[in-house]
Amino acid sequence: GEPVLDTDFVHRWLTAAAAAISREAARLTDLDSAIGDADHGSNMQRGFTAVTAALEKEPPDSPGAALILAGRQLISKVGGASGPLYGTLLRRAGKALGDAEQVTLQELAGALRTGVEAVAQLGGSAPGDKTMLDALVPAVEALATDGGSFEAASEAADKGALATVPMLARKGRASYLGERSIGHQDPGATSSALLFAAFEEVAR
């Protein structure tokens, strides 16, 4: 039947995401060294370490509260562009869920879509600009579609991240490189794919 998504599910997702980011931090930083300033892995690791610490210290009592807590940590602990952007994603998604103790997959998908729209607004960016949105937008659409699943969303995020390779960066530091940004995978799209892989992992 329809999976029940509760506070524990969101907690396990954030913990799995933190572990995946730790494992892949060197790769994220390598990608950022090609078209940015070589800090995306360390930025994400610092942020998600703070997220897991905050979850232990003040356990949230709803999925929405867990997302808001995580978003606040990312905004306050990550100096780079990715902190406010991912922080806004999680905070807005959490707000959209309100204080419900359990949510459906479709409710979570709708909340994440609201969060992704807030990222686009804050970043002044859209799919095709070679950013995290190139993974986030197709992933959320795959989740929100009728019969959507975490597996399909994770696959869409991976595809979206890979599709950034031939793109010309129009936003963020990579855009300073102009044509030289072509041929490299966007670090933020890559970390977004890790976040959706973590959903698939905990939903299994």
Q: Positive or negative, the Cα torsion across 94, 96, 101, 104?
A: negative
How near is the Cβ of 188 to ligand ADP at its closest, in Å? 2
Nearer to Mg ion (CB atom), residue 39 or residue 134: 39
First-residue to last-residue Cα distance in the chain:
13
Q: What part of residues 132-151 is at the interface with ligand ADP (CB under 6 A)?
A: 132-133
CB 75 within 8 A of CB 87: yes
Interface positions with Mg ion (CB under 5 A): 32, 36-37, 39-40, 80
- The amino acid at residue 93 is A
Among 7, 62, 131, 181, binds ligand ADP (CB under 6 A): 131
Compute and round to an integer the Cα radius of gyration of the chain: 16
Residue with tokens 């129009």: 170
Which positions ≥6 away from 153 have C-beta within 8 Å? 139, 140, 142, 143, 196, 199, 200
How far is 85 from 118, CA to CA, in rounded Å?
8
How near is the Cβ of 111 to ligand ADP at its closest, in Å? 19
Q: What part of residues 161-190 is at the interface with ligand ADP (CB under 6 A)?
A: 171-173, 186-189
CB 131 within 8 A of CB 145: no
CB 188 within 8 A of CB 157: no
Residue nearest to ligand ADP (CB): 188
Quick note: the x/- pattern for ligand ADP over 33-72, rule CB under 6 A, is ---xx-xx--x-----------------------------
Cα 112 to its chain centre, rounded Å, is: 10
Stretch that binds ligand ADP, among 17-25, 53-61, 80-88, 92-100 (CB under 6 A): 80-88
How near is the Cβ of 128 to Mg ion at its closest, in Å? 20
Among 13, 25, 32, 167, binds ligand ADP (CB under 6 A): 32
Tokens read off for 1: 């039947």
The answer to whether 24 contacts ligand ADP (rule: CB under 6 A) is: no
Which residues are at the interface with ligand ADP (CB under 6 A)?
A: 32, 36-37, 39-40, 43, 80-82, 85, 123-125, 131-133, 171-173, 186-189
